[in-house]
Amino acid sequence: MSKKILYQDRTAALMDDALVLRGFTKILGRPRRLALGQIVAFRVRERADFPDGELPSWGKDDRGVWYTRDPRRWRRARSIEIILDNGDQFGFAPAHPNRFKELMEQLNIPER
């Protein structure tokens, strides 16, 4: 059964049943698939919310959120952070964060 793709860019693919984060590991850039049922909330962070005024390019940020590998992230003004039911948190910077946010709300995933 094919899954409906709701949003897709070089950082992520949001489908009707899962979110795939690309560049999850730095060396091989492997993706990570998260079932939508695992996602309990999301938040939007502005560039100014970070201590150095820049979105992380890879690794943990100031709050311990794991950011996927994205060497072009410095161009972006906003990031999305995903919060899972086990407490893990992952961040990425989609090309169209407002559209991604709208889709998450349509999927009944709350913003924190």
* CATH (domain of 75): 2.30.29
Q: Domain for residue 14, yes or no?
A: yes
Amino acid at 32: R
Pick from 37, 57, 53: nearest CA to 45: 53
State the Cα–Cα distance between residues 17 and 91, nearest whole angstrom.
19
Element (H, E) at 103: helix 97-106
Pick from 61, 70, 16: nearest CA to 43: 61
The number of folded domains in the chain is 1
Q: Domain for residue 99, yes or no?
A: yes
Condensed to tens digits (0 to 9), the pLDDT of residues 57-67 reads: 888 888 989 98
Q: Domain for residue 9, yes or no?
A: yes
Q: Domain for residue 26, yes or no?
A: yes
Q: Domain for residue 111, yes or no?
A: no
Pull the structure tokens for residue 90: 């992952």
Condensed to tens digits (0 to 9), the pLDDT of residues 3-48 reads: 899 999 999 999 999 999 998 876 666 889 999 999 999 999 999 9
Q: Domain for residue 112, yes or no?
A: no
Does pLDDT of 87 surpass 90?
A: yes
Beta bridge partners of 59: 67
Q: For the chain, what's the residue count?
A: 112
For residue 31, what are the domain limits? Answer: 5-106
Bridge-based pairing of strands 39-46 and 89-92 is: unpaired
